[in-house]
Amino acid sequence: MQQPRLFSDPQVASFAEGRFLDGDASEIEVLDPATGAVLARVRGIQGATAARAAEANGVAARAMRALPVDRRVALVRALGAGVRADRDRLAAILTAESGKPIVESRGEVEYAATFFDNAAAAAEMAAGDMPAARAADRRVVVLREPVGATFAITPWNFPLAMVARKLAPALAAGCSQAVKPSEETPLTALAFAEIFARTADAVGAPRGAFSVVVGDAATIARAFIEHPATRKLTFTGSTEVGRILAAQCAPRLMRTALELGGNAPLIVFGDADLDRAVEQAMLTKFRFMGQTCISANRFLLEAGIAGDFLARLEARMRALAVGDPRDERTRVGPLVNDAAIAKVERHVADAVARGARVRLGGARVKVAGCADRFFAPTILENCTPSMDCAREETFGPVVAAMTFASEREAVELANASPSGLAGYVMTQDADRLWRVAEALDCGVVGANDGAPSAAEAPFGGRKDSGFGREGGAHGLDAYVDLKYISLRVRHD
């Protein structure tokens, strides 16, 4: 198998001020989740260097603001093309550091590219407006101005797509962005930085408009949030860290977008097309082994069809190939780290102790030549809302199934969570589909759809899943500040 070229040189630490830095803080070991081997050691940057990077991010924001829209659009489009051209290398690095099956990593590279396409198109079509004035001598003109220098913190489950989803609209709107990738997966973002530098040079855009800052998360976050140049924080990660960051941003009244964890319900009604429902359930549950924030976590099944649905789901799950994520056939790879697999085990043990039945899986599986980080596709029947697997995101290949008797009960169970990111409803009844989709208290609804993420959609949550939207024309709005000019026109 072809080995990706990785950042194994510890001198490569971060990409800021338009160049790769040497690094001046302790090394971060990037591990291969499949084998446990050290893939790379990246030297972190310390607080003072991060503050300098924040300053440079501010300087680049001024340059981006001055860049005409056609050049911004050219930059963003070329980044999409650059990502596609480098698909195989990016996918190989992504799989190496995250454990994502290689076929899915290629899919993520293409998905990331679509954010650049979409943001470029949105920026091209963006327009201010001029509301009808109430007074004869007044004209009000609404301008859309870039927010300025932005700071992003991204998670490990989409090492490229989360960078693209935040960066593409930022650049398209005329902002700069520094990204702090997860310490688990900084290599994909650093590989993308090479593409960025090349592309910025080619189209004549400022190289400093994108940075990748690697190091201790809290130190780097503090340096950027406290720096006066930083005008916006965008974060995707846990609710716990989201709360810490919101509190840190409060004294500066800094704009924040927080895309936090979910606990998605998937409701299957008796009138659903069960094969189609199973197909869509597989998509939401087994994308990256359930390690996504919109993965269905609670399966709510109408009592009359629960057994039939689970039997069909089980047949599909038995066919999933568990193995090395570099293997083209693999659909279930290793979980990202030891904490992830320990959480899945805790949820299964808690459910069983409280009366759930393991219908399939329920334990780790050995994969020859790999580390002990693989968990079997699992079905837990007879779950209840008080179990850990229903109250928390399991983030693993576990279907936690419970039953309901009425539409009303299904909606109540679905909404009985502090999280509100995604929800799914499977039914063939059009009236019910609308009723339930509208009643779900979350930001994203998959209606007979297990893969609702798309570059054109305004992704985001409510309640403990945070606020702010990314993607589509609304995604561009997140990087735009409105200003209006009020004019008096003399009529002599």
Task: Name the one range near ligand ADP by CB under 6 A: 25-33, 194-202, 204-212, 216-224.
Answer: 216-224
* Site membership for ligand ADP, residue 226 (CB under 6 A): no
Task: Name the one range near ligand ADP by CB under 6 A: 149-157, 294-302, 412-420, 483-491.
Answer: 149-157
- For the question of residue 259 being annotated catalytic, the response is yes
What residue is closest to ligand ADP based on CB? Answer: 237
Contact 11, 23 (CB under 8 A): yes
Query: Which of 98, 105, 114, 182 touches ligand ADP by CB under 6 A?
Result: 182
From 191, 167, 152, select the one nearest 64 (Cα to Cα): 167
- Our CB check for ligand ADP shows the closer of 151 and 299 to be 151
Measured between alpha carbons, how far is 201 from 152 in angstroms, rounded to an integer?
23
From 475, 413, 468, select the one nearest 237 (Cα to Cα): 468
DSSP symbols for 350-377? HHHHTT-EEEE--SEE--TTS-S-EE--
* Site membership for ligand ADP, residue 250 (CB under 6 A): no
* Site membership for ligand ADP, residue 342 (CB under 6 A): no
Q: How far is the CB of 258 from ligand ADP (least distance, A)?
A: 10
Measured between alpha carbons, how far is 473 from 456 in angstroms, rounded to an integer?
7
Which tokens hold the place of 149?
């220098």
- Our CB check for ligand ADP shows the closer of 221 and 440 to be 221
Query: Which of 65, 87, 238, 454 touches ligand ADP by CB under 6 A?
Result: 238
Catalytic residue (one of 104, 259, 302, 470): 259
From 63, 19, 59, select the one nearest 174 (Cα to Cα): 63
- Our CB check for ligand ADP shows the closer of 79 and 189 to be 189
- Our CB check for ligand ADP shows the closer of 118 and 453 to be 453
* Site membership for ligand ADP, residue 172 (CB under 6 A): no
Q: What is the DSSP letter of 459?
A: B
- Our CB check for ligand ADP shows the closer of 188 and 403 to be 188
HSE-CB for 180 with a 13 A CA cutoff: 28
* Site membership for ligand ADP, residue 244 (CB under 6 A): yes
Query: Which of 215, 237, 361, 460 touches ligand ADP by CB under 6 A?
Result: 237
Q: How far is the CB of 249 from ligand ADP (least distance, A)?
A: 11
Contact 382, 408 (CB under 8 A): no
* Site membership for ligand ADP, residue 73 (CB under 6 A): no
Nearest-5° angle of CA 305, CA 309, CA 311? 120
Query: Which of 217, 358, 416, 447 touches ligand ADP by CB under 6 A?
Result: 217
Contact 205, 167 (CB under 8 A): no
Q: How far is the CB of 242 from ligand ADP (least distance, A)?
A: 7
Which residues have a Cβ under 8 Å from the Cβ of 41 and sit 6 or more positions away? 8, 10, 27, 28, 29, 30
Q: How far is the CB of 224 from ligand ADP (least distance, A)?
A: 9
Measured between alpha carbons, how far is 309 from 287 in angstroms, rounded to an integer?
19
Burial class of residue 240 (count of CB atoms within 10 Å of its CB; 0-12, 13-18, 19+): exposed
Which tokens hold the place of 353?
């102790």
- Give me the 441-480 binding string for ligand ADP, x by CB under 6 A, dash otherwise: ----------------------------------------
Which residues have a Cβ under 8 Å from the Cβ of 430 and sit 6 or more positions away? none
Which tokens hold the place of 172?
């398209």
Contact 298, 424 (CB under 8 A): no
Measured between alpha carbons, how far is 429 from 393 in angstroms, rounded to an integer?
29
* Site membership for ligand ADP, residue 218 (CB under 6 A): yes
* Site membership for ligand ADP, residue 153 (CB under 6 A): yes
Q: How far is the CB of 321 from ligand ADP (least distance, A)?
A: 26
* Site membership for ligand ADP, residue 221 (CB under 6 A): yes
- Our CB check for ligand ADP shows the closer of 148 and 237 to be 237
Measured between alpha carbons, how far is 366 from 19 in angstroms, rounded to an integer?
42
Contact 401, 380 (CB under 8 A): yes
Task: Name the one range near ligand ADP by CB under 6 A: 57-65, 203-211, 237-245, 270-278.
Answer: 237-245
* Site membership for ligand ADP, residue 246 (CB under 6 A): no
Catalytic residue (one of 17, 104, 175, 293): 293
Please name the amino acid found at residue 17: E
* Site membership for ligand ADP, residue 190 (CB under 6 A): no
* Site membership for ligand ADP, residue 183 (CB under 6 A): yes
- For the question of residue 438 being annotated catalytic, the response is no
Residues that bind ligand ADP (CB under 6 A): 153-156, 180, 182-183, 217-218, 221, 237-238, 241, 244-245
Residues identified as active-site: 259, 293
